[in-house]
Amino acid sequence: MLIAGNWKMFKGPAAARAFFEGFEPPADVDVVFCPPFTSLEAALESGRTVYAQNVHWESQGPYTGEVSPEMLVELGVAGALVGHSERRQLFGETDEMVARRARTALDAGLGVIACVGETLEQRESGDTELVLKIQVEAIAFAAGDRENLVIAYEPVWAIGTGKTATPEQAEEAHAFIKGLLDRPVLYGGSVKPENAAELLSQPSIDGALVGGASLEPDSFAAICRAASTS
């Protein structure tokens, strides 16, 4: 079971160090942290597994604001998120861009958590499976069935809204994704200590990508404990 905490644009280096002083997860759960770029080094000091929140597809060049896989490897970072719904929705990242990021990161030896998911409009129009098929197949075509590749299903309508897919909705989507690409699939979308156990008990859910609830040591540790007993 893999539990990943995406800190988004929260926690500078000092706050990151303070978090790890109070964080005690169970030993039998794989835990990954995705802090902002400025806090990567501070997070690495904890000895925990650290992923970046994004990565570019070129090793160097005139790409202001981007960070290459080789830079992350040199820093000691173990992997990267790609294709988070906020990157897709707010910054215009396309399926092609997400796939290129995933492929290049994997080629550099990094682990990858590649995010997919539908909007509320797409779900209500009955297009969930079509959207997931397009997104997952783009990643599969570029990156293949790699050992270090994990998919995260995050329904866009459940990101930062407090809404959560029902366990049945999540299980259905996860099973569909696994039918397209045989890799572990995490659930992301308002995961909290209160709903984690029920979500993580579903047979096709292999862990969680946690946003807001990963910012506090106690709440994130509670989610990790729920994973330990699932």
Query: Is the Cα torsion angle 106, 38, 196, 223 positive or negative in sign?
Result: positive
From the list 56, 84, 118, 171, the catalytic residue is: 84
Q: Which of 86, 93, 118, 154 is catalytic?
A: 154
Instruction: Work out the end-to-end distance of the chain between its first and last CA atoms, rounded to an integer number of angstroms.
Output: 9
Sign of the C-alpha dihedral, residues 166, 120, 91, 212?
A: negative
User: According to DSSP H, which parts of 92-216 are helical?
Assistant: 95-107, 120-124, 128-143, 167-180, 193-200
Q: What's the Cα-to-Cα distance from 47 to each of 31, 50, 80, 151, rounded to whole Å?
A: 11, 9, 17, 24
Please say if 84 is a catalytic residue: yes
Q: Which residues contact 64 (CB under 8 A, 6 or more apart)?
A: none
Q: What is the DSSP letter of 35?
A: -
DSSP category for residue 211:
S
Examine the residue annotation and report whether 154 is marked as an active-site residue of this protein.
yes
- CB of 195 within 8 A of CB of 227? no
Contact 43, 14 (CB under 8 A): no
Q: What residues act catalytically? A: 84, 154
